[in-house]
């Protein structure tokens, strides 16, 4: 098992290292994240994470789901970050890509999967996310 060095961050109140693996899907698991929508989604996620001082460690957008490995300030919270990403991306992608409007009543499901990254070394989780594009 490989070792990894934990880097701590600070927000002036809390010193933290909170990394999360998040997965979410379009409604009905439709293959709508294609033909440029996938690239635009990555841009939107990057922008939201920059605005919230969250660090993307790994990201993979598949036609029917998204994997994100991200470090988030615990006082901001992973739920708030996912809510911002899903809300903004739904609005923008549905405006810019017609098939995101016509094939779905809303872009995302209300649910998502989240797991703290602690039991497995970060490199293992990064490797898993990277391998998802070949599945």
pLDDT tens per residue, range 73-108: 999 999 999 999 999 999 999 999 998 888 788 999
Question: Is 28 annotated in the active site?
Answer: no
42 pLDDT exceeds 70?
yes
Name every residue whose Cβ is closer than 8 Å to that of residue 125 and which is 6 or more positions away in sequence.
21, 58, 69, 117
| Active-site residue, selected from the candidate residues 8, 20, 28, 128 | 128
In order of their start, the domains of the chain are 26-134 (3.30.70.1290)
67 pLDDT exceeds 60?
yes
The answer, as to whether pTM is greater than 0.95, is no
134 pLDDT exceeds 70?
no
Average pLDDT score over the chain? 88
């Amino acid at each position: 098992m490989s070792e990894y060095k934990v880097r701590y961050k600070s927000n002036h109140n809390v010193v933290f290292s909170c990394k999360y693996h998040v997965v979410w899907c379009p409604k009905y698991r439709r293959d709508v994240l294609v033909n440029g929508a996938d690239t635009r989604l990555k841009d939107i996620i990057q922008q939201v994470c920059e605005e919230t001082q969250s660090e993307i460690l790994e990201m993979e957008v598949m036609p029917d789901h998204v994997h994100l490995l991200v470090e988030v300030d615990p006082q901001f919270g992973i739920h708030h970050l996912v809510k911002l990403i899903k809300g903004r991306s739904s609005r923008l992608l549905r405006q810019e890509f017609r098939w995101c409007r016509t094939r779905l009543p809303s872009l995302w499901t209300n649910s998502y999967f989240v797991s703290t990254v602690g039991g497995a070394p970060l490199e293992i989780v990064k490797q898993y996310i990277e391998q998802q594009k070949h599945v």
